[in-house]
């Protein structure tokens, strides 16, 4: 490690807790795991929470808070490991992109060898979380590693790395569904809802990560990095609207398949509204606005989570009244 100064990164809040409160020696490591930018943790964690809630709600139960806690820890650890791996693979690209040049590896604050050690530590810790879940969850968790391993290379071979991220980041939905017993024989009638939730998350991620990629349009073109934002160009806002329309439709289908109660529908409509306001505001020449729109997907996903939980609560009351 060199003596490079650790300064707030462009896509982190200037007053983020890492730069304000973490010991200086730890800051590069926390930034390697993106702990100074927690939006990604939320976006990885919330599909898992939604899957847990959907499996419980389909059977008229409230979500297991223990599972929520385990998935929160697991998401933070796996996101940190994934970011370290991504930065190792992309170190040469990152050095040529203004937004990423200050990251710990390209700036020389952390060596590649040190990053591999960090990745291994986070992976082992996340494995300790995974093994306390049921057998199907463990199988699904291990299977996700293939998606994670391939993701950094997608921007080199396809214009749609955001689609691969959609498959990867939403894997928590079927994993959470499995952890909460959603694939058990007793919940077979609602099992299709878990797949629909995963498909909904895929299109949701395709939308928000296209917005995120708007920040790097010029630098990506110079570095030869492919993205959906570059491929779509001026059609990106319309495409994002279409992606979000598909995400909402599949989320509604998941609620219908799980037979969620009446409270699900108005909250799901609010989720759709939170998505649809983003596309008209997207400007290809305004990366600051793009980052803000990207971050707005955390409260949007929380609304969908609330819709699933509320729908399950009504379902629970209905079942008890019979």
The domain that contains 175 carries what CATH number? 1.10.357.140
Interval 244-274: pLDDT, tens: 999 999 999 999 999 898 999 999 999 999 9
The answer to whether position 18 is within a domain reads no
Distance CA 189, CA 279 (A): 35
Total domains in the chain come to 1
The answer to whether position 228 is within a domain reads yes
Percent of the chain with pLDDT over 70: 93
Residue 222 is predicted with a pLDDT of: 80
The answer to whether position 15 is within a domain reads no
Residue 315 is predicted with a pLDDT of: 65
Residue 3 is predicted with a pLDDT of: 43
For 231, residues 6+ apart whose C-beta sits below 8 A from its C-beta are 159, 160
193: closest CA among 266, 261, 275, 252? Answer: 252
136: closest CA among 66, 79, 187? Answer: 187
Residue 188 is predicted with a pLDDT of: 54
Place of tokens 């199988």: 139
Output the six-digit token pair for 151.
């993701």
Residues shown for the chain = 322
The answer to whether position 7 is within a domain reads no
The answer to whether position 6 is within a domain reads no
The answer to whether position 9 is within a domain reads no
The answer to whether position 116 is within a domain reads yes
Residue 2 is predicted with a pLDDT of: 44
The answer to whether position 2 is within a domain reads no
Range of the domain at 74: 24-321
Q: Which long-range contacts (CB under 8 A, 24 or more apart) does 65-74 make?
A: 67/176, 67/179, 67/180, 70/129, 70/132, 70/133, 70/179, 71/45, 71/172, 71/176, 71/179, 72/45, 73/129, 74/48, 74/126, 74/129, 74/130
Interval 267-317: pLDDT, tens: 999 999 999 999 999 999 999 999 999 999 999 999 999 999 999 886 666
Distance CA 220, CA 139 (A): 36
Residue 279 is predicted with a pLDDT of: 96
Residues of the chain scoring pLDDT < 70: 1-6, 185-189, 314-322
Residue 6 is predicted with a pLDDT of: 60
């Amino acid at each position: 490690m060199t003596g490079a100064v650790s300064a707030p990164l462009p896509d982190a809040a200037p007053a983020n807790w890492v730069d304000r409160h973490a010991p200086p020696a730890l800051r590069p490591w926390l930034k390697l795991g993106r702990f100074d930018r927690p939006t990604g943790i939320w976006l990885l964690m919330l599909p898992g929470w939604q899957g847990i809630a959907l499996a419980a709600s389909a059977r008229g139960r409230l979500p297991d808070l223990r599972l929520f806690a385990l998935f929160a820890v697991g998401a933070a650890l796996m996101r940190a490991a994934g970011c370290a791996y991504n930065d190792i693979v992309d170190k040469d690209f990152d050095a040529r992109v203004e937004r990423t040049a200050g990251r710990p590896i390209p700036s020389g604050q952390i060596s590649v060898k040190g990053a591999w050690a960090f990745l291994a530590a986070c992976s082992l810790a996340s494995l300790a979380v995974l093994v306390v879940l049921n057998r199907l969850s463990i199988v699904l968790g291990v299977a996700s590693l293939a998606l994670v391993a391939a993701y950094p290379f997608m921007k080199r071979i396809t214009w749609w790395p955001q689609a691969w991220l959609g498959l990867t980041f939403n894997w928590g939905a079927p994993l959470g569904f499995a952890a909460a017993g959603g694939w058990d024989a007793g919940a077979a009638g609602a099992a299709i809802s878990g797949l629909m939730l995963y498909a909904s998350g895929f299109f949701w991620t395709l939308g928000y990560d296209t917005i995120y990629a708007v920040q790097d349009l010029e630098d990506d073109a110079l570095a030869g990095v492919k993205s959906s934002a570059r491929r779509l160009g001026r059609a990106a806002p319309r495409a994002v609207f279409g992606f979000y329309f598909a995400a909402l439709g599949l989320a509604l289908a998941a609620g219908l398949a799980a037979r969620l109660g009446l409270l699900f529908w108005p909250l799901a409509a609010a989720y759709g509204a939170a998505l649809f306001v983003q596309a008209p505001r997207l400007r290809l020449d305004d990366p600051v606005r793009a980052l803000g729109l990207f971050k707005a997907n955390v409260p949007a996903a929380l609304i969908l989570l609330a819709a699933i939980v509320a729908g399950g609560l009504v379902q629970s009351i209905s079942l008890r009244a019979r």
